[in-house]
Chains A and B, each alone.
Chain A
Amino acid sequence: MKRVEAIIKPFKLDEVKTALNAVAVQGMTVTEVRGFGRQKGHKEVYRGAEYIVELVPKIKIEVVVPDQAVTRVVETIAKAAKTGKIGDGKIFVLSVEEAVRIRTGERGEGAL
């Protein structure tokens, strides 16, 4: 099992969600996050007062999927989240040791 963690532009959430549903991803965790990568923050100026945005608002999507689905899921996210402009985000893949469905006690991929 792998955990796929994607940091994307906020307005891309719906597209990514729909695309993931289409490749049969059942569930996901979505968090509003702030941070920066190559797209450093920017400055907004109003009447001479500067508002520095060091941490850019992003959406973090996390899904845990069976090993064989990883490639497809990563590609799906990358395609749906892409605008081609800076700040499109990143995708990380991490190994997951165990999963438990709390209600039934099922373990492993059966719990996904």
Chain B
Amino acid sequence: MEIENPKDIFAPHASRLTPYGIDSLEDIERFLRKGQQWLQKAHAEGLAGEEFGRSHSALMDNLIRRLYKRAMNVNGERATDLGFALLAMGGYGREELSPFSDIDLLLLHLPGKGKDLEDWLRAVLHPLWDWGLTVGYTVQTPKDSCRAAQKDLDLLLAFLDARWVAGDKGTFLRWEEEFSRSLLAGKDTELIMQIRQRAEGRHAHFGDSVFVLEPEIKEGKGGLRDYHAAFWAARIKYHIRSAEELTERGLLSEKEWKLYSRALAFLWRVRNQLHYSHGRREDRLAFEDQEAMAEALGYRGENSLLATEAFLKDYFTHALDIYCLSWNLLEKSLNEGAASQKGRRLGTPVEIVPGYYLFHGKLALTDPHLFDRNPLHIWKAFEVVHAHGVEMAPRLKEKIAEKLDAVGERFRLAEESIKSFLSFFEKPGHLYRVLEAMHETGFLRRFLPEFERVYCHIQYDRYHIYPVDIHSFYAVRELEFLERKDEESWPLLNQLMGEVGDPGLLKLAALLHDLGKAEGSPHALRGEKIASAIAERLQILPEKIETLSFLVREHLTFAEIAHRRDLGDENLIFRFAQTVKNSERLKMLYLLCFADLRAVGPSSWTVWKDTLMRELFIKTLHLLEREETLGKEAQDRAIHLQSEVMEILTGQIAAPKISEYLASIPSRHYAAHNARSIGQQILMAEKLRDETVDLEGEEKPEEGCDEVTVVAWDKPGLFAEISGVMTANFLNILSAQISTWEKGIAVDLFKVQNLIDEPLFQPRRWTKLEGDLKKVLGGEVPVNSLVEGMVLPLFQRYPSPRRDTKVEVDNSASDFCTVVEVYTHDRPGLLYRVTKKIFEMNLSIWMARISTKVDQVVDVFYIQDLSGAKLEDEGVISRIKKGLIEELQRT
């Protein structure tokens, strides 16, 4: 038997292709294998999900028909005598077979003929089992089977999908009639209620969310079973036989059906792939499989993680469609029945506000054309949801979804829109319910287009269970729980939520905090821009926008510090307090962080984490509130210095310019300099616009040295170049304070020892120093050519007793820099060589303290890598240590 054409396998009457004689079991098995191979190949080549299910069912039909024909020949009996019929049930009946789905059969026979079936069953069923198919079956008379289904809803539902495959058609028709008459007639509402209840139980069992870490393709929320439930309901209620009839009967619009069938095809295809990948029936999209699944289904991205995220986004988008559409269908089947038949008993419409009434506890429109007259009326629907916490009826959701084209720029900026939207945050009510309804109708993505990018956007890791948008809604809900003091009780957080002056702003921050997620990292910074743009559009006051930006920008900081930093380190807390600035913002940040973590997943918030976060909160709060803290003093001193500098510079530079400079100076700098020097440094920085570098000098006879201030644009290796020029100009650096202002200006203060007799401030020498610096920093002359061209004998006058050379790296002294301490004996050019080495190892010096006592040098460098990060890698650190020691021992 040769099978070349798939039609030979899958055509409805492929069983008739060997009209003469009987097929041997070997032939039939070959037929099965061939069919299976073809299916797998077609799937790999992209066969659509629904197509696969139909073809696979056709293969089974033909297989069973061949076996049946063969049995007929072997047994020599006529099946009609026994009333023997083979029926496909469940998924097989619906023609939705995945590669390893169960094949469920109902074998019917006439009363009293059960015993004579033995041979038939052996001939039909045993080969199927032998070939490794999972076949489930029941053998019953039509009456018995209906009686059994009466007690068992699952069986009844499986019967709903039953269709004839082989044997006596008369028995099948009699059975079908009996089934409709005794089990379905007059029971639609009751049955549909049961189906809905069953679905709710199923959802609850699988996490009650479409968006779970490991979705269950069949039974989960948004899974295939939701579609089955809706289809069963429509079948019972409207007696439809195929899904296509859903549109013909007006139960779904063309557009909805398109969405629905596309979503179903997608889920089926995913399921088929999952079966093939596992080589068995598997309906759970396990975390471990998701990457491979994305790859197998043809998702490609810059990297496999992005491909996986794209796959999951599609998955959740389709699953959400399936859930919403199925649920609408189910409710429709239920409510229309109730309204026409038993409306009185199940409840009468109650108008709660003009234009809206409650029906079966769901919000519905009294006037279906309300939104056509003015789309802004949509807000009223959300307002009712907000005030009463009710769900919208499917028809109302449809009405809103139909009107989305009207939600454009004008709608978004309308005064009424902004007022309504903000009122949901400001007034007490059911904000989460509103957001959920806005999400399900697609309204939110139209009103805040920024949500388009994060719609169903999954961050692919084990930690983030929900897509970004859903996670954000949950965060808002957590804050509402705290506000209402229900759910679990967190006494401190409940109290803080009550104390916060602007809880509405906090809730808005919770909604917007992760919008940067689809833009790449660092998402908090990207999110800040997006959030503040939204806030501006919503005409929120500037000072509130600042707080909102702060919350979005810093929403990760709080947990990060609490869980990963030494809370016993005062400096750390001090710096954190400086970022937070006041206790109001601290409270909001703590609350946001709590809500954010809680919304990640059921196990992401633990007492362990809570304890550390509370410690950080209370310590920081105390620091912010304590009057006599270092922070307060330092801030006062800085403020005082700033006004002095302002006075000194007034008339020389425009006031706004001065303020700009003052803001860019790090607070550490204020602690180390006086107003006069800061003023001078600013004047020097001003000159930098036309120059690469500016320098000033001053004699310090009382200290036995000279002081040189260098201001230049910061760049890697700057410090090495300056110290090289100093060395080449016979200056030994005794101490240096280098700091970097925010605008990228390096301000370095050197105390230098003159190594020759000619005073530094002789015009000839000073001009040479200035010229050398400009040439080197301007890139005209490489610094090493200057240093190497030095006259060596000069140095021999310099005493150089040996001292132990030691390099120590302290990575705990600062959170931002790695602190490298160099202990060695002094010699000319030392600092140049050390700093040059640091530059050559691709590091940059953020701050340095150079000091020399007699001939013992202690140089402390705060260094970072070129990305501005602290060095964390032990390997890198030990290489640096080794490199520096080698350099120091070279002479």
Chain A residues near B563: list those with CB within 8 A: 10-11
Residue pair B611, A34 in contact (C-beta under 8 Å)? yes
Chain B residues near A10: list those with CB within 8 A: 563-564, 612
Residue pair A83, B566 in contact (C-beta under 8 Å)? yes
Residue pair A46, B492 in contact (C-beta under 8 Å)? yes
Residue pair B874, A19 in contact (C-beta under 8 Å)? yes
Number of residues from B at the complex interface, CB < 8 A: 24
Residue pair A34, B607 in contact (C-beta under 8 Å)? yes
User: Which one, A45, A47, A85, contacts B568 given CB within 8 A?
Assistant: A85
Residue interface mask A81-101, B partner, CB < 8 A = 1 = 001010000000000000000
The dominant DSSP class at the B interface is: helix
Within 8 A of A (CB), among B575-621: 606-609, 611-612, 614-615, 618, 621
Residue pair B608, A32 in contact (C-beta under 8 Å)? yes
User: Which one, A11, A18, A44, A57, contacts B566 given CB within 8 A?
Assistant: A11
Chain A residues near B606: list those with CB within 8 A: 32
Task: Check: B113 CB closer than 8 A to any chain A CB.
Answer: no
CA distance A73 to B594 in the complex (A): 37
Residue pair A9, B614 in contact (C-beta under 8 Å)? no
Residue pair B874, A18 in contact (C-beta under 8 Å)? yes
CB distance from A56 to the nearest CB of B (A): 8
Within 8 A of B (CB), among A23-51: 32-34, 44-47, 49, 51
CA distance A85 to B565 in the complex (A): 15
Residue pair A14, B495 in contact (C-beta under 8 Å)? no
Number of residues from A at the complex interface, CB < 8 A: 23
Task: Check: B491 CB closer than 8 A to any chain A CB.
Answer: yes
Task: Check: A53 CB closer than 8 A to any chain B CB.
Answer: yes
CB distance from A20 to the nearest CB of B (A): 11
Residue pair B491, A49 in contact (C-beta under 8 Å)? yes
User: Given A51-B614, A53-B611, A57-B612, A9 and B492 touching (CB < 8 A)?
Assistant: no
User: Which one, A13, A49, A57, contacts B495 given CB within 8 A?
Assistant: A49
Chain A residues near B618: list those with CB within 8 A: 44-46, 51
Nearest opposing residue in chain B for A42, CB measure: B615
Task: Check: A102 CB closer than 8 A to any chain B CB.
Answer: no
Nearest opposing residue in chain B for A80, CB measure: B874
Within 8 A of A (CB), among B826-883: 872-875
Residue interface mask B709-752, A partner, CB < 8 A = 1 = 00000000000000000000000000000000000000000000
CB distance from A8 to the nearest CB of B (A): 12
Chain B residues near A9: list those with CB within 8 A: 566
CA distance A22 to B876 in the complex (A): 12
CB distance from B834 to the nearest CB of A (A): 26
Chain A residues near B612: list those with CB within 8 A: 10, 57
Q: Which of A19, A44, A57, A85 has the most C-beta atoms of chain B within 10 angstroms of its own C-beta? A: A57
Q: Which of A13, A34, A44, A55 has the most C-beta atoms of chain B within 10 angstroms of its own C-beta? A: A44
User: Which one, A11, A19, A33, A46, contacts B621 given CB within 8 A?
Assistant: A46
Q: Which 7 A-B pairs have the closest CB atoms?
A: A32-B608, A44-B618, A57-B608, A11-B566, A57-B611, A11-B565, A18-B874
What are 11 inter-chain pairs, A to B, with CB distance below 8 A?
A11-B563, A11-B566, A14-B564, A18-B872, A32-B606, A46-B495, A49-B491, A49-B495, A56-B611, A57-B612, A83-B568
